[in-house]
């Protein structure tokens, strides 16, 4: 073994910082709106410091045990997930695929309910980082978060799961029947909360009607259905945006969603939280089983 002497170390350091090396480029205050020391946190380390990396952009109100202030929605104690768990006999020892975890609220409920493993796939890079923050704060040690398009994963994967959780994602698809089909390939049970299109509700509310611009006939794997194009409009300018990967999506009719589930093998479909008057549009939660 060659001996590394102090002289050799000194020479290596000298070479590393010689004139032929590229020195770090200093960042001047105000240069391109960046001053690197602004990214440092000098207060006492805390979970709130991590939350404040996205201050004003959180949707969810964290559980009391976290001791932080984030958003306002009760997604960490969501009655839709509680009901879904009751309908399938609980989450204990299940391997779960979660599509679009947003801020890990439902992931937290799955782990708390005893799920053996959770693979959560998130395409929104901001939401993904929020999930990592939530994972650290709440010690979600049975959850894995992956950044990327869950459609691409479902199209290419042959993995099977005991349960697929797809809350708040179906109405962000451009070919929503494909997502239902892909879910049916990966799991025999699914919890799905989604908005759906209703002609009368939208026509009676100009605030909702402005988002919809086109009716389209679809046919996927032999299943025929109709969608209405939904445009995100000014929501795309918000740092808290949590929609799909394109400037628009397509909403299915309620009856088409139910027919599509049955078409792709979900013979038992239970419905709850069916509300045509929710702020962003009619919505319902279904538990689908084969």
Q: Which of 163, 157, 155, 191 is nearest to 285 (CA)?
A: 191
Per-residue pLDDT of 179-196, as tens digits, reads 999 999 999 999 999 999
Domains of the chain as residue ranges with CATH: 75-289 (3.40.50.150)
In this prediction, residue 15 carries a pLDDT of 45
Query: Which pLDDT does position 18 carry in this prediction?
Result: 45
Whose tokens are 């929609």? That residue is 243
Beta carbons of 240 and 59 less than 8 angstroms apart:
yes
CB contact set of 112 (below 8 Å; sequence gap of 6+): none
pLDDT value at residue 14:
46
For 198-242, what is each residue's pLDDT tens digit? 999 988 999 899 999 999 999 999 999 999 999 998 888 877 777
How high is the pLDDT of residue 26? 56
* pLDDT at residue 277 in the model: 84
pTM of the complete model: 0.86
Structure-block tokens of residue 191: 């919890």
Q: What percent of the chain has pLDDT over 70?
A: 88
User: Residues 60, 102: contact at Cβ < 8 Å?
Assistant: yes
The pLDDT of residue 6: 44
103, 75 contact by CB (below 8 A): yes
Position 9 scores a pLDDT of: 43
* pLDDT for position 31: 55
DSSP-derived pairing of the beta strands 268-275 and 223-231: unpaired
What does the pLDDT read at residue 236?
84
What strand order describes the sheet that includes 95-99? Answer: 143-147, 117-122, 95-99, 163-165, 189-195, 283-289, 268-275
Check pLDDT > 90 for residue 172.
Answer: yes
pLDDT of 135 > 50? The answer is: yes
Alpha-helix residue ranges (DSSP H) falling in 72-163: 79-87, 105-112, 125-138, 150-156
Q: Parallel, antiparallel, or unpaired: how do β-strands 189-195 and 117-122 relate?
A: unpaired
Length of the chain: 290
Confidence (pLDDT) at 19: 43
The pLDDT of residue 3: 47
pLDDT tens, residue by residue, 253-270:
999 999 999 999 999 999
pLDDT at 46: 97
Reported confidence tier of residue 103, pLDDT bands at 50, 70, 90: very high
| Nearest to 106, CA basis, from 22, 192, 5 | 192
Rounded CA separation 96/118 (Å): 5
- Tens digits of residue pLDDT in 2-41: 444 445 444 544 444 444 444 555 555 555 566 788 889 9
Q: Comparing C-alpha atoms, which of 100, 104, 106, 105 is closest to residue 84? A: 106
């Amino acid at each position: 073994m060659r001996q590394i002497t102090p002289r050799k170390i000194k020479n290596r350091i000298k070479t590393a910082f010689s004139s032929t090396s590229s020195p770090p480029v200093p960042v001047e205050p105000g240069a391109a709106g960046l001053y690197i020391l602004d990214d440092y946190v000098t207060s006492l380390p805390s979970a709130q410091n991590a939350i404040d990396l996205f201050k004003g952009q959180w949707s969810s109100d964290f559980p009391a045990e976290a001791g932080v202030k984030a958003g306002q929605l009760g997604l960490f104690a969501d009655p839709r997930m509680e009901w879904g768990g009751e309908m399938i006999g609980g989450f204990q020892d299940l391997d779960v695929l979660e599509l679009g975890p947003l801020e890990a609220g439902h992931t937290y409920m799955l782990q708390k309910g005893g799920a053996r493993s959770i693979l959560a796939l998130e395409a929104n890079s901001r939401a993904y980082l929020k999930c990592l923050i939530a994972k650290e704060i709440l010690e979600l040690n049975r959850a894995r978060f992956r950044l990327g398009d869950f459609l691409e994963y479902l199209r290419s994967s042959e993995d099977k799961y005991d349960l697929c959780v797809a809350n708040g994602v179906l109405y962000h698809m451009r070919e929503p029947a494909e997502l239902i089909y892909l879910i049916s390939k990966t799991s025999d049970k699914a919890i799905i909360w989604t908005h759906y299109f209703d002609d009368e509700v939208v026509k009676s509310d100009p605030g909702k009607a402005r988002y919809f611009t086109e009716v389209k006939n679809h046919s996927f794997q032999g299943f025929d259905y109709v969608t209405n194009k939904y445009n995100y409009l000014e929501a795309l300018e918000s740092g808290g945006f949590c929609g799909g990967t394109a400037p628009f999506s397509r909403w299915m009719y309620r009856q088409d969603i139910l027919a599509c589930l049955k078409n792709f093998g979900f013979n038992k479909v239970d419905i709850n939280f069916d509300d045509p008057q929710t702020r962003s549009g009619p919505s319902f939660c279904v538990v689908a089983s084969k």
